[in-house]
Amino acid sequence: MTPADTAQLIKKLAAAVGFDRCGIAKVEPIGRGEYLKEWLRQGHAGSMDYLHRNLNIRLDPAQILPKARSAIVVALNYKQSPPPVETDRDAPRGRVAMYAWGEDYHGVLRDKLRSLVDRLRAALPDPFETRICVDTAPIVERELAAAAGIGWIGKNTLVLHQDLGSYFFLGVIITTLESQLDEPAEDHCGSCTACLDACPTQAFPTPYQMDASRCISYLTIEHRGDISKPFQGMMKEWVFGCDVCQEVCPFNRHAPATTEPRFTAARTPPSLDVSEILGWTDDDHHGHVRGSALARATPEMLRRGCIPFPVARLNNCS
């Protein structure tokens, strides 16, 4: 098969498995390597020390698999309808980012990527090697997604697609297969600054750059220490993650809803009763977060996320 034939087969099988987009990039040093090093040097990673480890692989994903020739990058939509507006002001609820409503995406993506590899092995006569990456390997998925034409890196540093928006997960297969490469997508952000203007904690010092140490998603999911009082007052009602910069993005207004049943069979409601969170035992916590991305937050972290709620409202529920 020619590289073009291989690429066509990969995309056909990716669609059959259920992925919404598939692109192919060359495995080479990422285009914004110097930016990443400077970003880390300035402390924008906050307490995410793991981002400093294996930096050589983050800068050059080819090091993750000897003789790697291409990176197959896929997108899987997780967008759902927004929840109804809460009207009971005596029962404050903490919001959960949409990506955590359904089954933990790590397992969903990994299963689909393994299925894609199995189908490729059955269809191609020659052996090849692969390394499946789902948000745990030391690679910068968004850089590969941009190079593969899945979308462009927007001003909020998320990958955006004109039709799919930004509510999608990324998965990567680093492989020794030789395939025809895709062209990077064109940037369509234009003069829009909706995401930058809406960020409650002003986590974007400039367009296309995030200070993760100020991001609500970082503060509620990644950060393990106390949340400083200035940020507590800015976090609004988010107790796990944040979708503000996505909610205001024009490309998400008409983006399609997910068709993946493992995401729509909700494991976690869009919002949690704050009074219940404050009273959760470890067993309660395990029962609520099992099988969900919400499991990344400990009971202490979720309770910590309730601090920004007005004291009077919490007292009414305790």
Residues marked active site are found at 135
β-sheet with 70-77: strand ranges across: 21-26, 70-77, 168-175, 130-133
- The closest of 293, 264, 259 to 107, measured between CA atoms, is 293
Strands (DSSP E) contained in the chain are: 21-26, 70-77, 93-96, 130-133, 152-153, 159-160, 168-175, 238-240, 271-273
Q: Contact at 8 Å (CB) between 147 and 26?
A: yes
From residue 300, how far is each of 172, 207, 279 by CA, in Å?
Answer: 33, 33, 11
What is the distance between the alpha carbons of residues 200 and 207, in angstroms, rounded to a whole number? 15
According to DSSP, residue 51 is labeled G
What is the distance between the alpha carbons of residues 219 and 213, in angstroms, rounded to a whole number? 7
- DSSP assignment of 144-168 equals HHHHTTS-EE-TTSSEEBTTTBT-E
- The position carrying tokens 């507006």 is 85
Handedness of CA 215, 219, 222, 225 (dihedral sign): positive
- DSSP assignment of 286-312 equals HHHHTTSGGGGS-HHHHHHTTTTS-HH
* Contacts for 87 with CB less than 8 Å, ≥ 6 apart: none
